[in-house]
Amino acid sequence: MLDQLLSEENIRVQEECQDWQAVVDRGAGILLAQGCIEAGYVSRIKDYLEEHGPYMVIAPGVVLLHARPEDGANGVCMSLMTLASPIAFGHAQNDPVDIVITFATPDDEQHVQALSQMTELLSDETSLRKLREAKEAEEVLNVVRPFVQKGGERR
């Protein structure tokens, strides 16, 4: 599933952003341009971060940007972006962020396998280092591919 969601078209590497709002705009903008989400979805991500704090920063240096299906998700989709300079989201333990995953799903079920595979990838320190060092989208895909097996287990 993860390999079906991530392609060169929705991966950006070494992007420059000024603040967390720009990170949301840039990461979600990839999916917005593809028609996978509505503009309101981007606004809701920001609203949730402002209302509930940086709970989307799920691991050191990693944010999983998302909103609810009814906020404007048109399909299951994902983008992955790395930042040239890490950005603070206000999370005491996991700031600053340099890996940005933006995710949308139209229901509560279709995304489970992809998130399982992504979780497995994000728990592998070598893979995280390679993501952070990547200079091209193809390098990111080379890191992702081993995690598309059953349950995300690496080959």
What domains lie within the chain, and their CATH numbers? 2-152 (3.40.930.10)
E strand intervals along 30-76:
57-59, 62-65
More confident residue, 122 or 22: 22
Give yes or no for a contact between 30 and 24, defined as CB atoms under 8 angstroms apart.
Answer: no
| pTM for the whole structure | 0.91
Virtual torsion, Cα 40, 65, 31, 41, nearest 10 deg: -10
- Percent of the chain exceeding pLDDT 90 equals 74
- Please report which confidence band the pLDDT of residue 111 belongs to, taking 50, 70 and 90 as the band edges: low
Q: Tell me the per-residue pLDDT of 87-101, one tens digit each, with 9 for 90 and over.
A: 999 999 999 999 999
Report, as residue numbers or ranges, the catalytic residues: 66
pLDDT at 153 over 50: no
Average pLDDT, the chain: 90
Give yes or no for a contact between 110 and 75, defined as CB atoms under 8 angstroms apart.
Answer: no
